[in-house]
Amino acid sequence: MAKHRKEPQPAVENHDRLRPRRGRTTSAPRPPANQLNSAEVVSGRWLVKALLIVLAVAGLALYLTVCLLFYQGQWQFTFFPVQETTASLASAAAKSGLPVTNVRFDTTEEGMEQLDGWWIPSTTIGASQPSAPSPAPSQMVLLFCPNGRTDLPENVDALKAFHALGIPVFAFDYRGFGASQNTHPSQQKAYADGIAAFDYLTGMRHIPPHRIVVYGAGLGAAVAATVAQQSPKIAGIILEDPQPSFTQEVKREQHIHLLPMWLVFQDRFDITHIVPRLPMPKLILVTPTVPEYAPGAAKLYASATAPKQSVEINAPRGVPVFTQPQWLEAVSNFLNTLAAPSAEQ
Residues 12-48 have pLDDT tens digits of: 555 555 455 555 555 556 655 555 555 454 467 778 8
pLDDT of 110: 86
What is the C-alpha separation between 55 and 57, in angstroms, rounded? Answer: 5
Q: Which residues, in sequence order, are bridge partners of residue 251?
A: none
Residues 242-300 have pLDDT tens digits of: 999 887 666 655 555 555 665 666 777 899 999 999 999 999 999 998 888 889 999 99
How many domains does the chain divide into?
Answer: 1
What is the C-alpha separation between 224 and 300, in angstroms, rounded? Answer: 14
What is the C-alpha separation between 43 and 53, in angstroms, rounded? Answer: 15
Within a domain: 56: no
pLDDT of 326: 94
Per cent of the chain over pLDDT 90 is 51
First and final CA of the chain: distance in angstroms?
A: 167
Within a domain: 230: yes
pLDDT band at 128 (very low <50, low <70, confident <90, very high): very low
What CATH number has the domain bearing residue 119? 3.40.50.1820
pLDDT of 293: 87
Q: What is the mean pLDDT of the chain?
A: 81
Residue 135 clears pLDDT 60, i.e. is over it: no
Within a domain: 120: yes
Poorest-pLDDT segment among 12-16, 43-47, 99-103, 122-126: 12-16
- The full DSSP string for 257-314 is TTTTGGGG-------TTTGGG--S-EEEEE-TTSTTTHHHHHHHHHHSPSSEEEEE--
Q: Which domain holds residue 81?
A: 76-344
Residue type, 30: R
187 within 8 A of 274, measured Cβ to Cβ: no
Residues 151-179 have pLDDT tens digits of: 999 999 999 999 999 999 999 999 999 99
Within a domain: 309: yes
Within a domain: 235: yes
Within a domain: 259: yes
What is the C-alpha separation between 330 and 107, in angstroms, rounded? Answer: 36
pLDDT band at 310 (very low <50, low <70, confident <90, very high): very high
What is the C-alpha separation between 249 and 182, in angstroms, rounded? Answer: 25
Residue 332 clears pLDDT 70, i.e. is over it: yes
Residues 179-208 have pLDDT tens digits of: 999 988 889 999 999 999 999 999 999 999
Question: Can you list the alpha helix ranges (DSSP code H) found in the chain?
Answer: 15-18, 33-73, 75-78, 86-96, 156-164, 187-199, 219-230, 247-251, 294-303, 325-337, 339-344
| Mean pLDDT in residue range 54-60 | 84
Please classify residue 99 by burial: count the beta carbons closer than 10 Å to its beta carbon, then call 0-12 exposed, 13-18 middle and 19+ buried: middle
Q: Which residues, in sequence order, are bridge partners of residue 223?
A: none
Residue 4 clears pLDDT 90, i.e. is over it: no
- Say if strands 141-145 and 169-173 run parallel, antiparallel, or are unpaired: parallel
pLDDT band at 313 (very low <50, low <70, confident <90, very high): very high
Backbone phi, psi, residue 236, to 5°: -175, 175
Please classify residue 112 by burial: count the beta carbons closer than 10 Å to its beta carbon, then call 0-12 exposed, 13-18 middle and 19+ buried: exposed
Residue 142 clears pLDDT 50, i.e. is over it: yes
Report the phi/psi class of residue 37: left, alpha or beta, with left for phi > 0 and alpha for psi in -120 to 50: alpha
Residue 129 clears pLDDT 80, i.e. is over it: no
pLDDT band at 119 (very low <50, low <70, confident <90, very high): very high
Within a domain: 145: yes
pLDDT band at 343 (very low <50, low <70, confident <90, very high): very low
3-state secondary structure 56-89: HHHHHHHHHHHHHHHHHHCHHHHCCCCECCHHHH
The residues, ordered by sequence, that sit 6+ positions from 221 with a Cβ below 8 Å of its Cβ are 145, 239, 240, 241, 242, 243, 271
User: How many Cβ atoms from other residues are within 10 Å of residue 77's Cβ?
Assistant: 18
Within a domain: 63: no
